Each structure stands twice: as structure tokens, then as C-alpha cells.
Amino acid sequence: MDQPDQTARDAARAQESALLSRIRDRDERAVEELYARYSGPLYSLAYQVTGSDRFAQDVVQEVFIAVWKDAGRFDPARGALGPWLFSLARHKAIDLVRRESTVRKRTVDVDLAFEKAPDDVDQEAWLRVQRERVRAAVAELPENQRVALELAFFAGLTHVEVAEQLGIPLGTAKTRIRTALLKLREIIGTSLAEAEPPDSRWITETSSS
């Protein structure tokens, strides 16, 4: 589904807006719906960054508290809800990692590019294809850029720490990491955030492992 129709995307956006509107109206069931939809992938990301079940749970909880306290911070004009939630989760996870050196030690070895998710996770073919597309895009990056990006993105290392870990100058580390992200933008093309099926069911599938 590389070219999903605009109507489907609009419908998904409208559904998200309605959900957040209910949360602003203090509707706990809306939080439950949001949780059912996103808790799995958010937890997965938080676990990947922190390397800790406890910290991953803390991150997920903090994300939902942040949404509950101030759902108005989400601006639909900037994009879909998913990227915003993931951004919140990653930000909170990185904060935790940077505060907790013990967590840091467990997360500096990152190897995602060729790691397979459990078979029973990706039951839906569409999602499997899309995720493989992103993995393939990451694999297309030059090795030195890929490694630097993974350390920065999934291990929550600062640019300074990535430079130390790889034994390269800070400026080189910054360039590798940032260039990698810019290249991914070109390689991936249509984002999963945009190629969203109408009912957003796919994202729930990632939490069903």
C-alpha cells in the first residue's frame, strides 16, 4: 500500500482527533482505546532504548499521563498521532537512559538491522512488508552511518557518547548520524505514518506478541 488514498488517511486522522477530543473531555475509555492501539509499539521502543522492563513501563506510563494531562499539545496540522506519541516515548526513554548509567551499560550494543521480530508478531502481511521496507532502508545505509544512527536512536546515546563509543571525532559522529537520517528520508519514501490503513489496526498488531 505505497499510495494509500487520501480519504483513508483523512478518516484515520479524524478518528485520532476524535479520540483525543474525548481524552480532553476526561474520558478514560478513550485512554484505554489509545492504550490498546499504541502501548505495544511504545513499550517496544522504550524497551529497546532503555533495555529495561521497569524503565519501559515507566516510559509508557509517562506518555499516557502526558497525553491525559495535556492532549491539546498534539497538533494534527503537524502530522499523525503515532509519530507524536513515539516522539514523546523516545524523548522520555532517552531522558531515563541519560540519567541512568546502569541502563546505559546494557544498551550500547545495538543490532537491529538484521534482527527478526518473532514470527507471531507480524501476522498482517502489510505491516510485515512495511517494516521490512524500513529495515531494508536502514541496511542500505553505509555501515559507519548505520551503526552511528542505531547507537544514537535505539541506545539513546548522545552524539558525544557515540563519538566515544566509536572512537571518532564528535563532528564526524554528528555528521554520520544526521546524514543517515537524511538518507533514510530519501530511501524510505512514503512513511508508514502516511501509509496508514484506514482503521489503524496494523499498529495494534505489533503489540500482540
Partner 1 sequence: MDHRDLQQLAAGEALEDVGRLERVVFAVHRRTCASCRTLRADLDRVTFDLSLIAPARRPPVALQGSVIAAIRATAPAGPAPGAQASAVGDAVIGAAVRRWQVLGGAAMGVAAVLAIVAAGLGITTVRLEQDLQRSVAALEDASSQLTAQAAAVTVALDPAHVTVALETEPLAAGAAAFVVYRPGSADGYLMATDLPPTAAGQVYQLWIADAAGVHPLGTFTHDGDGAFVAPFGVVLDAATAAMITLEPSGGATGQPGPEVVFGEL
For residues 141 and 149, is the Cβ–Cβ distance under 8 A?
yes
Contacts of partner 1 in 28-57 (CB under 8 A): 28, 31-32, 35, 39-41, 43-45, 47-48, 53, 56-57
Instruction: Give me the least distance between CB of 89 and partner 1, in Å please.
Output: 8
Read off φ and ψ for residue 169, nearest 5 degrees.
-65, 150
For partner 1, give the closer residue by CB, 40 or 103.
Answer: 40
Q: What are phi and psi of 47, to 5 degrees?
A: -65, -40
CB nearer to partner 1: pick between 104 and 154: 154
**Cα 83 to Cα 78: distance, rounded to the nearest angstrom:** 10
The secondary structure of the chain in percent helix, strand, coil, rounded to multiples of 5, reads 70, 0, 30
Q: Does 134 bind partner 1 (CB under 8 A)?
A: yes
Nearer to partner 1, 76 or 199 (CB): 76
22 touching partner 1, by CB under 8 A = no
Q: Which of 18, 65, 129, 170 binds partner 1 (CB under 8 A)?
A: 65
